[in-house]
Structure 1
Amino acid sequence: MADSVGDGLDRALQGAFTRRIPQSAPAQMRYLVKQLGGTKAAAQLLGISQRTVERYVVGRLQRPRQVLRGRLESEVTKRWQPRVRAKARKKAASTDGLVVSTRARFGFTAQPGTSDDARIRDITQALPPAYADRLFTAHEHGATERQLQQITADGLAQMYFRADNTRAHGLDVEFTDVEHIQIEL
């Protein structure tokens, strides 16, 4: 299964966590109930009954089914250490930037009459803070995966293919068929 840029951004921020998320289902459920302000909100978010949430909170239920386990862990991870996540995002967007390591299909269009057929490439490239800011902002505002790929393609075009705009002026890069993407802060 191919990776997505959005998932890569989420994993990069999770790498900044200073503590592990709660491991047991009851601990995760207690955290989620606290974050959402009640068992009713947690039940609606997870698509289960309020009584089931209450049973997890008090420890009467311990092992959720696989689907619920995945949803629960995902929702807790989204909300875990928001200040640490915000600090890491701010640092990447203002001073550090991101490092993108990907295996994907890249194609090019340049001046009229020139082109290069798309082919699979492995690329690892640091992107400046401006692209980190664009990616995180777009991701927060619900951008589609295609939009996130386009921002990443713009950054890779500028920094990798055009060498920070010192060569290959006017080269447009097409970034498709992402097999793997890893983003690091």
Structure 2
Amino acid sequence: MGLLTDSLERAEAAHLTRPLPKTARAQMRYLTKQTKGTRAAAQLLGVSQRTVERYLKGQIKNPRPDLAQRLADEVRKRWQPRVRATARKQAATTGGIVIDTRARFGFTADPGTTDDARLRAITQALPPAYAARLFDAHAAGADDRQLQNILAEGLQEIYFKDRGRRADGLQVEFTDLDYLDVDY
């Protein structure tokens, strides 16, 4: 996963109302219920169906570190889907998103202006239209570069062009991402 994808998932997790199950048995029970069977859960985790059944019975309590991480990740992906969907819908229709980033921004603009890329720290609210595009692309499986292009377009229009009030021919490039945090 990339920096932007991780940031979107952290922002989404901030809206959860209940904590994730803590024990391996509770996590396995939840995953089995979500995948509708022990066979599907076993395939998802890369273990045997019998191993999943042993976790459910309490015969195995402490998974290997790699299995514990995969189990926690799969549970985290599926935890409270309606709460996540409501938060995304609100951001995509009324709230928008807030981007906090430090990246290198380069410009293509009219002659006589500087186009040297430089590192900038920017915190900017983007309108719901960009949030909707970002969520749709993320749900469609877009890679981090495509998601960065959507954010670059949003920052270009809102931050650099001031919603079309200045810098008419400016094109912004969003590169060398140092950090990125998304909130909604």
So what's the TM-score if we normalise by structure 2? 0.95
Does structure 1 residue 76 correspond to structure 2 residue 78?
A: no
Equivalent residue number for residue 31 of structure 1: 30
Residues 170-181 of structure 1 mapped to structure 2, 5 A cutoff: 170-181=169-180
Displacement of 1:106 after TM fit?
1.1
Output one character per residue of 1:64-95: Cα deviation in whole Å (capped at 9) or x when no partner. 12211111111111111010001000000000
Pairing of 1:13-92 with structure 2 (within 5 A): 13-92=12-91
Letter of the aligned partner of 2:3 in structure 1?
S
Q: Distance in 1 between matches of 2:43 and 2:3?
A: 27
Percent identity at matched positions? Answer: 60
Contact 2:156 2:171 (8 Å CA) reproduced: yes
- Per-residue Cα deviation, 1:77-125 (whole angstroms, up to 9, x for no partner): 1111010001000000000000010111111111256442112211110
Q: Which residue of structure 2 aligns with residue 11 of structure 1?
A: 10
Q: What SS does the aligned partner of 2:102 have? A: strand
Distance 1:49 1:141 in 2: 30
Quick one: structure 1 residues 3 and 36, their matched pair in 2 at CA, closer, same or farther if it must change by over 3 Å? closer
Give 1:125's aligned residue. Answer: 124
CA-based RMSD: 1.4
* Conservation of the 8 A alpha-carbon contact between 2:2 and 2:144: no
Between 38-47 and 111-120, the greater mean CA deviation after superposition: 111-120
For residue 150 of structure 1, give the secondary structure of its aligned residue in structure 2.
helix
Q: How many residues align?
A: 184
The runs of 4+ residues in structure 1 deviating greater than 2 Å are 111-115
TM norm structure 1:
0.95
CA distance in 1, matches of 2:2, 2:35: 29
Q: Is the 8 A contact 1:3 1:180 kept in 2?
A: no
Residue deviations 1:122-168 (CA, integer Å, cap 9, x gap): 11100000000000000000011100000011111111111122111
Q: CA deviation at 1:55?
A: 1.2
Gaps of 5+ in 2: none
Where does the alignment leave 5 or more consecutive residues of structure 1 unmatched? none
